Structure 1
């Protein structure tokens, strides 16, 4: 019987090795698996590379992970949010590396990894410092930059509901990066608010099929 629900998330997270690359969903706090990220801190893998949209926008979740010193590099679109100084302090102190990726390119590169593409041409960044050292091409009179897929070892994502097969549905803006990240990694761990009986979901409503999810944990089983 397929059952991807775990009550022992600590054991799952302890399998993440030092040096792993991890994607985390979220647009600010919307869709950020806060409790799962903080459980990762307790597991303690070091020298992590983190791929997400925002470096920090509060004192919890990603911000707390960065403050723990477990992250050596972050790949993101918005390393700073309004009123947030944490990333800037870490970066200027030489405690973290940054790869800045425009938001559309970030999503496109993650999608490319999930689709098995070798690379994509995008107009975003052409003629700027972000394109330095990269291949460029003019296609139908428009200039493009070659960008390579972004994949990872693990994805920590947030969804609203799951069944025991790992099928996921999301709530509104919390959907953001979760679905594409689940397809671009080797192992997806989903934090959910509720677990429903198999067959509850209309198949047309399932956003992330269980084939892309290896572990599901309910919020109350994390905290």
Structure 2
């Protein structure tokens, strides 16, 4: 039986401000960014990432990079090498840059994108899916007939860093999400070497309902409390 109370257990989670947390991101990193549009997007951390102007050659793994996204500033500053996600067509400048060969885009159906992150976090390197079979998104990829239906081999996704948004964290690093704002965030927390989470509130260990915890502390490295609404 474990000795001592739970609040005496050292989890290794750090509590930093946004700029110090973003300093941990290496040059040329691949970065997962949570959020479905604005809900669940770590906007406070995103602004800190934009402020760290020397950081470039980045690969962003996120559902969308719209023209109104905070992180679109990275594209405007020529700091993005590649984006991987599902929805970029609203960002006309990004589409033109892709057509001109200035930025790489890996377009994935949204379900495939989500599953690729989930399986990356589970340590499964690839999977077959019928989604996109027979379309341009399947070109150059291995296919296989399974149960009489064509399937496409997709690579799972992992990243150097995940910057995500949660509603609350306790002082051990356990996370609670708020309604649909959880979207991609819990899966991304499991699929990165370094997970940085932005939260509205930090509470004492024991204050969170165990049944409401969406991400346990084992997947969390740095917690940042939002300094703005």
TM-score (norm. length: structure 1): 0.91
Aligned to 1:127: 134
Whether 1:15 aligns to 2:27 is no
1:163 and 1:196 in contact (8 A); partners too: yes
1:77 and 1:100 in contact (8 A); partners too: yes
2:11 and 2:218 in contact (8 A); partners too: no
Q: Which of residues 42, 56, 67 in structure 1 aligns to 2:51?
A: 42
In the alignment, the residues of structure 2 paired with residue 54 and residue 161 of structure 1 have an alpha-carbon distance, to the nearest angstrom, of 24
Q: Any idea what SS the aligned residue of 1:38 has?
A: helix
Residues 50-199 of structure 1 mapped to structure 2, 5 A cutoff: 50-56=60-66, 58=68, 60-81=69-90, 84-199=91-206
Q: CA deviation at 1:3?
A: 6.2
Whether 1:203 aligns to 2:213 is no
Q: CA deviation at 1:68?
A: 2.8
Gaps of 5+ in 1: none
Gaps of 5+ in 2: 1-9
Q: Summarize the Cα distance change of 1:64–1:109 in structure 2 as closer, same or farther, 3 Å threshold.
A: same
Q: Any idea what SS the aligned residue of 2:166 has?
A: strand
Larger Rg: 2
RMSD of aligned Cα (Å): 1.8
Residues 18-27 or 132-141, more deviating: 132-141
Q: CA deviation at 1:175?
A: 0.5
Aligned to 1:26: 35
Q: Any idea what SS the aligned residue of 2:31 has?
A: strand
Q: CA deviation at 1:104?
A: 0.7
Aligned to 2:6: none
Q: CA deviation at 1:99?
A: 0.9
Q: CA deviation at 1:131?
A: 1.0
Q: Summarize the Cα distance change of 1:3–1:15 in structure 2 as closer, same or farther, 3 Å threshold.
A: closer
Q: CA deviation at 1:85?
A: 3.2
Give the count of matched residue pairs: 219
In the alignment, the residues of structure 2 paired with residue 85 and residue 193 of structure 1 have an alpha-carbon distance, to the nearest angstrom, of 33
1:48 and 1:71 in contact (8 A); partners too: yes
